[in-house]
Amino acid sequence: MKKKFTHGDAGERGTIRQITYTTRNEKGETVEKYANIYLPCRYDPEKRYNIFYLMHGGGGNPDAWLDSSPLKNMLDLSIQRGELEPLLVVTPTYYTEGTGKPGMDGEHDKTVAFQKELAEDLIPAVETAYKTYAETTDPAGLKASRLHRGFGGFSMGAVTTWNAFVYNIGIIGYFMPLSGDCWAIERLGGSSQSEKTARYLHDAAVKSGYKPDEYFIYAATGTEDIAFKQLYGQVNAMLRFPDTFKDASGFAAGNFCYHFEEGAVHAYPDVCQYVYQALPCFFKK
């Protein structure tokens, strides 16, 4: 069992701001969307910060992580106790309108379509408004700063994260898929198509040209989580490709960490614990 976060009075608090940006929906129409951004306590607009994008689960919205888990309190306290370097955390949505139907087939397509929005609209908007290690927010600037940028998510947000690994590894160095598998081969394919799914991710890593010490994955779920079987199957299949996914309990020894928490379920508060445990391992390279 890993160290657990307990809710408490942070005393000094970070703030949540909203950022709006325009993107295109599935019909190609221009739409305005928002994301939340966490600014740590004593945020200094002149300073550069690491940045972590954190996606909600199916049926959620940009507020889901904030009102369904102690995410903000966890960040405030982790930073205050010196367990976590001050950073920016963004909670966006992959929905362009309304919300989806959790677990349905069309959902996967939305998490794929979101990858273009992420690279071309969301990240540039956020990192123009708030200073990160991106000296410019064009593709070259995002690429140069990729080891200061992470992406994670819960459930369908984890499905989104595996797609970010495939499509946006060129601008993101750290990935945190939580309680969700890769649906590239088929829905819930982490268990039904473990071997093919792992090979697909392996091939994407090879094709990216990045070496295993240039991208990092921290995957986690609970043994009582409805996604356990899928993620467990996928992780074990990925471990059979040690040239791209090097088993590690911490990123000093490899690029692939995974954790299966005894008894934890498919819900934001349990999954927030994994963010607490994983985030301090990020941005060390």
Task: Write out the residues near ligand FER by the rule CB under 6 A.
Answer: 57-58, 102-103, 155-156, 159, 180-181, 188, 226-227, 230
The CA-CA-CA angle for residues 99, 102, 107, to 5°, reads 75
Q: Count other Cβ atoms within 10 Å, centred on residue 123.
A: 26
Minimum CB separation of residue 87 from ligand FER in Å reads 26
* Closest alpha carbon to 58 in 1, 112, 102, 10: 102
CB of 188 to ligand FER, least distance (A): 5
Nearer to ligand FER by Cβ, of 45 and 98: the residue is 98
Tokens of 278: 């994983």
Least Å distance, CB 263 to ligand FER, is: 17
Nearer residue to ligand FER within complex by CB, 33 or 110: 110
The distance of closest approach from Cβ of residue 227 to ligand FER in the complex, given in angstroms and rounded to an integer, is 3
Q: 127 or 181, CB closer to ligand FER?
A: 181
DSSP per-residue codes, 70-120: -HHHHHHHHHHTTSS--EEEEE--S-SSS---TT-HHHHHHHHHHHHHIII
Rank residues 62 and 173 by Cβ distance to ligand FER and give the closer one: 62
Least distance in Å: CB of 111 to ligand FER? Answer: 10
Residue 230's nearest CA partner among 164, 177, 166, 163 is 177
Nearest to ligand FER of 132, 179 (CB atom): 179
**Torsions phi, psi of 197, nearest 5?**
-65, -45
